[in-house]
Structure 1
């Protein structure tokens, strides 16, 4: 993982009105490229998909202030959490809006029109 490249992509996205950032793993059969717009996620209950699409893409959120990761230590911890919990490609995504879902997990964001800005 080239941290400087990730930082550069976050700064550029922030300057282009990306206000909500997250880290997510793609499914084992799904991959993405930088610039891809990701499909909406589905609502899950107790580890089972309900089949109901939500209005954005789920990710673990992290804070960006004035184009810089607020806590690099927290960011790296979240990357390791995603890598160790999920299989598949790990990506950094951003969008201009976090959809407030009533069932969001702790640290979860739902990003409308989520765009891949970096691949980890």
Structure 2
């Protein structure tokens, strides 16, 4: 993976188009980190639900985050990942219980400082 100086900051080079790492014209590095946690969590949750043979559709992943605004460096404090899931009523309890496996199986989440609180939630549609 390579980064180059672009017009508005740094760009991650990709054959399908560069990804700007600048909050004014793309995503900030912090937002990219949070998005990586959400995407990784989504792939992991997919895998867990498939292994449990639950018929489902992840319709949406919404992610929010908080930074420590009082620290000199505004480090991440909390990441909350909310999955909107379409699943049969009979499988909802199993799908909800499977959430506790997501963070432990997500290499991105496990690579972050353990002080960062990562919360997974599910909403059934």
Please give the TM-score of this superposition, normalised by the length of structure 2. Answer: 0.26
Please give the TM-score of this superposition, normalised by the length of structure 1. Answer: 0.27
Structure number with the higher helix fraction is: 2
User: In terms of Rg, which structure is larger?
Assistant: 2
